[in-house]
Structure 1
Amino acid sequence: MTSTLARNYQCSCGKPVFFRNSSCLSCGSALGYVADEGALRAMRPTQAPDRFHLDGNPSVTYRRCQNFSSAIGCNWLVRDDGGTTAPLCLSCRLSRMIPDLSYPGNGELWRRVEAAKRRLVSHLLGLGLPVVPKADDPQRGLAFDLLHSQPGMPVMTGHATGVITINIEEADDAYRERARAQFGEPYRTLLGHLRHEVGHYYWDRLVAGTEWLAPCRALFGDDREDYAAALKRHYTQGPVQGWQRRYISAYAGAHPWEDWAESWGHYLHLRDTLDTAQSFGLVADAQWLEGHERQEPSVSPFKPSDLWREDHPTGAEFLTLLHDWVAVTCVMNEMSRAMGQPDFYPFVLPAAAVAKLHFIHCLIDAHVRGALGAEPEVTAAWGAATVAAGGPAEVAA
């Protein structure tokens, strides 16, 4: 079973602190996020300038990510190894291109994108998924190009061979809401974009060329279907008829790759939200992860026959995740309505989508257990079909 990631943090003074914090508002302690621990920790200064040790552990020295003093204010830490460590944290090292900061407003948009990316990366690490910068592994690594459109040179959010391009205008609330209304989407967020696009990357990394490809095609459809033609059909003719019974969203019906990416993004929504809810005591504890019995709800929206494989060892735990997800989202939707806000989770899970989510759950579980076999060669299978190159004003990170 894949691990959970705690989101309920406390300073050493006992007061609550949060994922984005760089200092405790109660006691003033410096805070930093330690990615390999999945924890926000209080720090104490050392005799060396700009060096810290974690509260209660003076044997290991850290320093802040170089981008702490930049527009994004990154609060992640880098373990100090005596001078050879990269100046940037793992999340910031994934940014291959950053926007031109001389352009008014780009600094704030960059800050918002990087904040969402840190949330994404922390969760990927918590799930046990490989997160390696493309600079370290050009063939299988991951990189982000964070670009701003120029006159006559629009930037399209998308993925190609390990590079995720993000139009940073998606971090502007007004721009994103116009796009959401234009495309008739019930839900459009910056973090949602990142989760969707990284799904394409993990399809290349974990599915393509592996034993998982055939069952993936049987469930999601044949990815060899003409991608450009499928997207053109979707945008000119609208969603496939009856998509609500087969897909997690209207866009998922455009092409098997998009069905995969939409399902992957929703799986990350589910896991991170439940990890957060569990951290704050809003759902039952994780004893069931350790093989303890847990009483199932008397009325269940899903059953074993809805899973990808009813006999898979993860079946019972995944159904519990789904039951908790339905319970949490129902309450959160009502809370949103009580505040006059749109629904927290404006989706309905059809049984066909549940099977796809379970497939992704099984794939991640197999990766964590080392049961995926040899990794595939990453190919340009769908290349630059969804990505437009950035303009000359974009600069390398």
Structure 2
Amino acid sequence: MKLFVCQACRNVLYFENRACERCGHRVAFLPERETMSAIELDGEADGEGDGKGDGKAWAALADKGKGRMLCRNAEYDACNWLTDVGDSTGYCRACRHNGIVPDLSDHVQLAGWRELEVAKHRLFYSLIRWKLPLQTRQDNPEHGLIFNFLADDPNSGERIMTGHDNGLITIALTETDEIERERRRLEMGEPYRTLLGHFRHEVGHYFWDVLVHDGDKLDECRAVFGDDSVDYGQALQRHYAEGAPADWQQNYVSAYATMHPWEDFAETWAHYLHIVDTLEMASEFGMEVRPRVDRDGELSTRIRFNPYEARDVQTIVDAWLPFTFAMNSVNRAMGMRDLYPFILSPAVVAKLDFIHGLVRGSAKAKAP
């Protein structure tokens, strides 16, 4: 994630800001420029409404563009993006992929949905930065990317499970309950469980379909991740009955990745997104790790590159390992869990390299 500034006063902005905390300017994200912008009401355009995505026209200070509209979900304080120029849907690039949302008349479900949207928009920041192919269900009714945010039914007792099915990603609203999410993390023996992690993992399944299966990369992928034709249902039952192999860390980024090659791919994809987006943030802060006790330089790094443009995965890994060792140590000093409680073995790095090649290949194919 980049650091952003308010064009009106140069104050630093968070990606989630709705207004500049110094000068009070309303701010919004311009997806085509991949930046936050201070915005002002466009006096030259007609529009009715309260300025929250229901008709007001805005001028963006970042590119001097006028007649811009806030996403319709800004009305619910669930989105701070501008729609594309000429858009007719009323929704931004991220929210056009929404299918079912929770009951917004229920304040608890509304609050949960807002949390989900924060994670979803961070996901789309990465997907847009890489120029990955994105189709809505309107673009592709059979396999467009769509998100359903669903709550458990207290009457029937039905529990919603997070998952992916042919472009449809279901996210359980229950995951926004921190206590319940922590309970599930402990129950499943996971070192890490977040809303953003769910989004990054599930979209990995979607891009396996798009970039591997439909991209004629199946044989190459199987050579790295294994034969995905093995029965998924049986693999699932075996995983929950027997657990992961004792030596799983030698070849997999997580215990869950051992369940089936599809899950291995999705887990590795998610970690690639974790690593690249976090390193971009570290680069924006000009972070440098140089421990006094590191005489050989193995734990030192200067993060002065854009990981979204890194030519090889080794450059990313060489920066990531010292950075996370430092951040894990800082977290432990605060009595907190490690920021990144995972091991990147040579086999996992090879899998990350495959993901890196997929992403870069897709970006090159889309470049003008």
TM-score, normalized by length of structure 1? 0.81
CA displacement, residues 85-121 of structure 1 (integer Å, 9 cap, x when unaligned):
2111121111101112344511111010011000001
Unaligned 5+ runs, structure 1: 1-5, 285-296, 302-313, 373-397
Question: Counterpart of 1:143?
Answer: 146
Shift of 1:283: 5.2
Shift of 1:240: 2.2
CA displacement, residues 131-155 of structure 1 (integer Å, 9 cap, x when unaligned):
2222222234200010011133211
For 1:200 and 1:277, the matched residues in 2 are separated by 28
The change in CA–CA distance for 1:101 and 1:366 in structure 2 (over 3 A counts) is same
* 8 Å contact kept, 2:147–2:168: yes
The change in CA–CA distance for 1:143 and 1:371 in structure 2 (over 3 A counts) is closer
The change in CA–CA distance for 1:128 and 1:283 in structure 2 (over 3 A counts) is farther
Q: Given the alignment of the two structures, is residue 8 of structure 1 paired with residue 3 of structure 2, yes or no?
A: yes
Unaligned 5+ runs, structure 2: 48-55, 290-294, 300-308
The change in CA–CA distance for 1:117 and 1:371 in structure 2 (over 3 A counts) is closer
Q: Given the alignment of the two structures, is residue 323 of structure 1 paired with residue 326 of structure 2, yes or no?
A: no
The change in CA–CA distance for 1:32 and 1:104 in structure 2 (over 3 A counts) is closer
Q: Given the alignment of the two structures, is residue 37 of structure 1 paired with residue 33 of structure 2, yes or no?
A: yes
* 1:85 alignment partner, one of 81, 85, 88: 88
Shift of 1:338: 2.1
The change in CA–CA distance for 1:59 and 1:349 in structure 2 (over 3 A counts) is closer
Q: Given the alignment of the two structures, is residue 187 of structure 1 paired with residue 187 of structure 2, yes or no?
A: no
Q: Given the alignment of the two structures, is residue 261 of structure 1 paired with residue 256 of structure 2, yes or no?
A: no
Partner of 1:229, secondary structure, is helix
Question: Counterpart of 1:377?
Answer: none
For 1:159 and 1:274, the matched residues in 2 are separated by 27
* 8 Å contact kept, 2:78–2:113: no
Question: Counterpart of 2:104?
Answer: 101
* 1:202 alignment partner, one of 207, 212, 217: 207
Q: Given the alignment of the two structures, is residue 134 of structure 1 paired with residue 134 of structure 2, yes or no?
A: no
* 8 Å contact kept, 2:29–2:35: yes
* 1:335 alignment partner, one of 330, 344, 349: 330
* 2:164 alignment partner, one of 149, 159, 165: 159
* 8 Å contact kept, 1:109–1:168: yes
Shift of 1:124: 0.7
For 1:63 and 1:364, the matched residues in 2 are separated by 31
Q: Which amino acid aligns with 1:22?
A: R
* 2:59 alignment partner, one of 31, 53, 57: 53
Question: Counterpart of 1:21?
Answer: 17
Q: Given the alignment of the two structures, is residue 352 of structure 1 paired with residue 352 of structure 2, yes or no?
A: no
Question: Counterpart of 2:69?
Answer: 63
Question: Counterpart of 1:276?
Answer: 281
Partner of 2:320, secondary structure, is helix
Shift of 1:175: 0.7
* 8 Å contact kept, 2:312–2:356: no
* 8 Å contact kept, 2:38–2:62: no
The change in CA–CA distance for 1:209 and 1:25 in structure 2 (over 3 A counts) is closer
Partner of 2:32, secondary structure, is coil
For 2:359 and 2:140, the matched residues in 1 are separated by 21
For 1:260 and 1:74, the matched residues in 2 are separated by 30
Shift of 1:315: 9.2
Matches within 5 A, 1:172-251: 172-251=177-256
For 2:260 and 2:62, the matched residues in 1 are separated by 52
* 8 Å contact kept, 1:145–1:164: yes
CA displacement, residues 331-390 of structure 1 (integer Å, 9 cap, x when unaligned):
211221222211100111111110000000011111111199xxxxxxxxxxxxxxxxxx
Identity of aligned residues (%): 41
For 2:37 and 2:296, the matched residues in 1 are separated by 41
Partner of 1:41, secondary structure, is strand
CA RMSD of aligned residues (A): 2.1
- Structure with more contact order per residue of length (Cα contacts < 8 Å, sep ≥ 6): 1
Shift of 1:239: 1.0
* 8 Å contact kept, 1:234–1:240: no
For 1:161 and 1:282, the matched residues in 2 are separated by 40
The change in CA–CA distance for 1:234 and 1:219 in structure 2 (over 3 A counts) is same
Shift of 1:22: 1.0
For 1:44 and 1:283, the matched residues in 2 are separated by 38
Shift of 1:182: 0.2
Number of residues paired by the alignment? 340
The change in CA–CA distance for 1:211 and 1:137 in structure 2 (over 3 A counts) is closer
* 8 Å contact kept, 1:45–1:51: yes
For 1:179 and 1:56, the matched residues in 2 are separated by 43
Q: Which amino acid aligns with 1:118?
A: H
CA displacement, residues 242-263 of structure 1 (integer Å, 9 cap, x when unaligned):
1111100001000010100000
Question: Counterpart of 2:304?
Answer: none
Question: Counterpart of 1:369?
Answer: 364
Partner of 2:69, secondary structure, is strand
Q: Given the alignment of the two structures, is residue 116 of structure 1 paired with residue 119 of structure 2, yes or no?
A: yes
Shift of 1:328: 1.6
